[in-house]
Amino acid sequence: MTHTLEILKENIRKAIIGKDEIVELFLNAYLNKGHILLESVPGTGKTMLARSFAKSAGGTFKRIQFTPDVLPSDVTGIQFFNPKTQEFQLRMGPVMTNILLADEINRATPRTQSSLLEVMEERQATIDGESISLPSPFMVIATQNPVESQQGTFSLPEAQMDRFFFQVDMGYPSFEEERDIMRTYRARNPIEEIAAVLTGEDILRMQKEVQEVGVSEEMESYILSIVHATRNHPDIEIGASPRGTLAFMRAAQGRAYLAGRTFITPDDVKHVAPFVLSHRLSLSIEGSLKKTNVMVIKDILSSMEVPVESGGQR
């Protein structure tokens, strides 16, 4: 598995420099049938990374550029009357794909954003009462700029945030990474050189294998104690949901699987915690004045007793 990950990283590295950890999170989410929300300031390569990953992972790829006038039917699809056949005909929207890039998702109105709720959770779209299953594997990669710096944006509702497996902040590249970016993009656009290194069958097989990674009772308790701490922390108004608990466990399984292990360790749990939990928490007014979600999660992790014995129990 580590070999597959290395091939994927190497392929994406042609276009995206210095984001190996994020590529691993992408694959982790994909293997766990999850979706990713990329958040960062403009110009840090969110869309480019999503496109590179989609091209590398194979399958079909579609993109929606969200604007305030995009309608739900532009996302899911529409039944229209075809005058030639004198019948209503279904035209599916861009959701009928393996990887969907929802670019600048917070520019869409809440009504349009909500059209993705069913798609993301149930992997189906209901159009005029008819439910249509989406292809498998299916993943939404959404990007957004930080809300506070934007006019004319609509924050994603809590219910939608909870449906994202990971929220990832791209951040700025380091000095040397940015030098490499300058050199790589000086004369060519390397994204054109990226080819698929995985197939849909590979992904489906790995999706089954990742579920078999063992979670011992100690690790279950560790995950649960962190989740419950988010519900009792004085700076948190709304803690992680049971859906968040499941995502937390699966993310740890995904990390162990990508590292070639058949069991999860406390390090897996600690590593994925900020990416899985930060967007699922709502801080209290006082808490939000002093801390960020990630800071609160780090507080919780540092206050938790780490299980010292964990093995490959199933």
Interface residue list for another protein (CB under 8 A): 147-148, 283, 285, 288-291
Minimum CB distance to another protein smaller for 162 or for 235:
235
Minimum CB distance to another protein smaller for 196 or for 301:
301
Q: How far is CA 12 from CA 167, 222, 241, 258, 284, in A?
A: 20, 34, 33, 16, 39
Structure tokens at 277: 């939990």
Q: What's the closest the beta carbon of residue 167 comes to another protein, in angstroms? A: 16
Minimum CB distance to another protein smaller for 147 or for 159:
147
- φ, ψ of residue 124 to 5 degrees: the values are -150, 160
Helices and strands (H, E) in the chain, number of each type: 13, 11
Q: What's the closest the beta carbon of residue 71 comes to another protein, in angstroms? A: 19
Minimum CB distance to another protein smaller for 52 or for 153:
153
Using CA atoms, how far apart are residues 131 and 112, in angstroms rounded to an integer? 18
Minimum CB distance to another protein smaller for 41 or for 147:
147
Q: What's the closest the beta carbon of residue 108 comes to another protein, in angstroms? A: 19
Q: What's the closest the beta carbon of residue 147 comes to another protein, in angstroms? A: 7
Q: State the angle between helix axes of 266-277 and 217-232 in degrees (0 to 180), rounded to the nearest 10.
A: 30
Q: What's the closest the beta carbon of residue 230 comes to another protein, in angstroms? A: 17
Find the DSSP H helices in the chain: 2-13, 20-31, 46-57, 72-76, 110-122, 158-163, 175-184, 200-210, 217-232, 242-258, 266-277, 285-290, 293-303
Q: What's the closest the beta carbon of residue 308 comes to another protein, in angstroms? A: 25
Strand partners, 139: 99
Minimum CB distance to another protein smaller for 17 or for 283:
283
